[in-house]
Amino acid sequence: MNIIIGNLLIFLAFIIALIYLILKLPKPGLAITVCFLMVFTGIFFIIQERATKLVFPGIAEVELAVEKANSGVEIIDSLKTQMENDANKVSELKEKLGKMFKLNASGEIDVMRTLNTGLFEFTVDSGLVTAMNMPVSSEPKKGSKMGYVFSIDSNNILGVISEANGIGGVENKKIFGYGDYEMENSDNGIIFKSPNGYKWKLTIDNMGDFKIEKL
């Protein structure tokens, strides 16, 4: 029973340490101290189980105790090696995660490599939200292209493009279509806004003639 408890304590210590290293939770020093205490307590339980009462002058019992003690030392060495291996694995995992994800100064997660996802979905009743954004500083030269393109099978479909104005903003904002634009609902159209603030809707009738109505 003591061996089971000892191994369980050591396993839980590794799990707690791994969670703190990956998630970077607060008070890591306290967590590491608790983990070390759990490991040493587990080792104590394991050695205690294997210890045999030394009865003098019972030579056989002394030899058995020495054998058990040597076995306990082997277990400690094995646990030490396992801890070192686990520490190396955690270090490798942190290095790989560091190449994939990075926290910026605002506490946001920056993806360092291509991120393959399934369905992208907002939370229920999100309201009007921004799906994506590209901040522009004053470093890019005026006229530098700023935007992104939506593609399917490496074929461009829709582009959202602008130009840096050289003072931390953008100008000449445009939407580029790399294919035909088809409007499924005939009641829908294109809405324009005139300089005086009025809105005008452009649709087409069954004869192919354009119709403009004021909204």
Domain C-terminal end among 84, 103, 122: 103
DSSP 86-121: HHHHHHHHHHHHHHHEEE-TTSPEEE-S----S---
Q: Under 8 Å CB-to-CB from 132, ≥6 apart: which residues?
A: 148
| Summary mean pLDDT of the chain | 77
Could you tell me if 96 and 40 lie in one domain?
Answer: yes
Could you tell me if 6 and 98 lie in one domain?
Answer: yes
Burial class (CB in 10 A: 0-12, 13-18, 19+), 15: exposed
CA distances (Å), 62 to each of 2, 53, 78, in order? Answer: 22, 8, 24
Evaluate whether 157 touches 150 at the Cβ level (below 8 Å). Answer: yes
Name the residue type at position 149: V
Confidence of residue 142 (pLDDT cuts 50, 70, 90): very high
**pLDDT at residue 71, as a whole number:** 65
Could you tell me if 20 and 59 lie in one domain?
Answer: yes
3-state percent helix, strand, coil for the chain, nearest multiple of 5: 40, 20, 40
* Percent of the chain predicted with pLDDT > 70: 69
Could you tell me if 41 and 79 lie in one domain?
Answer: yes
Q: How many CB atoms are located within 10 Å of the residue 50 CB?
A: 17
**pLDDT at residue 137, as a whole number:** 92
Could you tell me if 57 and 143 lie in one domain?
Answer: no
Could you tell me if 24 and 56 lie in one domain?
Answer: yes
Least confident of 44-58, 101-115, 171-185, 200-214: 44-58
Q: Decide if 120 is inside a domain.
A: no
pTM across the whole model: 0.46
**Overall domain count for the chain:** 3
Cα three-residue angle 77-80-86, rounded to 5 degrees:
145
Q: Decide if 112 is inside a domain.
A: no
Could you tell me if 58 and 44 lie in one domain?
Answer: yes
Least confident of 13-27, 28-42, 52-66, 183-197: 52-66
Q: Decide if 110 is inside a domain.
A: no
* Percent of the chain predicted with pLDDT > 90: 28
Could you tell me if 15 and 91 lie in one domain?
Answer: yes
Q: Which residues pair with 161 in a beta bridge?
A: 147, 174
Query: How far is 36 from 10, CA to CA, in rounded Å?
Result: 9
Could you tell me if 187 and 176 lie in one domain?
Answer: no
Average pLDDT over residues 77-81: 72
| Domain interval for residue 190 | 183-215
Query: How far is 40 from 153, CA to CA, in rounded Å?
Result: 56
Could you tell me if 64 and 141 lie in one domain?
Answer: no
Bigger pLDDT: 162 or 70?
Answer: 162
**pLDDT at residue 54, as a whole number:** 40
Q: Decide if 109 is inside a domain.
A: no
Could you tell me if 99 and 73 lie in one domain?
Answer: yes
**pLDDT at residue 140, as a whole number:** 92
Q: Decide if 127 is inside a domain.
A: no
Could you tell me if 51 and 78 lie in one domain?
Answer: yes
**CA 215 to chain CA centroid, nearest Å:** 46
Q: Decide if 113 is inside a domain.
A: no
